[in-house]
Amino acid sequence: MIVVDRFVWYKGMIENRSVLKKVCQGKIYNPDNLFRDIAVSSLMSSHKNVLKLLGCCLEFPHPVLVCEYAENGNLTGIGRARKGSEPLPWSLRLKIAKEIANAVTYLHTEFPRTIIHRDLKLRNSWTRIGP
């Protein structure tokens, strides 16, 4: 389980496939924002640097989004070494930064109406790339 702002992320399995389940916490979520998140996630799912939205369920007490799994988690500790390992080399850090910038550029330019993330930070960025 990983808590990120108003969401809790859980690792799960669907049909022998690892997934991330994003669950809204309590009454903190705004339904309008949730529907916007679903719509934007759906639009962005075709981009190679964005977690693919696999599905959602609005019938639970707390809405749930299901995305593809990112093996290496979020980027909160990217500049620090994990126990027993070396920090990520700068070349890999720059590759990740370039891919995030590429996804944000896509978000800002590829749709009829500009979409702005408003909460871009390391703990909201997930990676399949790792040491």
CB neighbour burial string for 56-89, b if at least 16 within 10 angstroms, e if fewer: beeeeeebbbbbbbbeebbbeebeeeeeeeeebe
**Domain residue extents for the chain:** 2-124
pLDDT (tens digit per residue) in 26-76:
665 666 777 777 888 888 888 888 889 999 888 887 788 899 998 888 887
SS3 123: helix
Looking at the structure, give the CATH architecture of the domain made up of residues 2-124.
Orthogonal Bundle (1.10)
- pTM listed for this prediction: 0.76
32 is catalytic: no
Asked if 74 contacts 123 with a C-beta cutoff of 8 angstroms, the reply is yes
Length of the chain, in residues: 131
| Active-site residue, from 5, 32, 37, 119 | 119
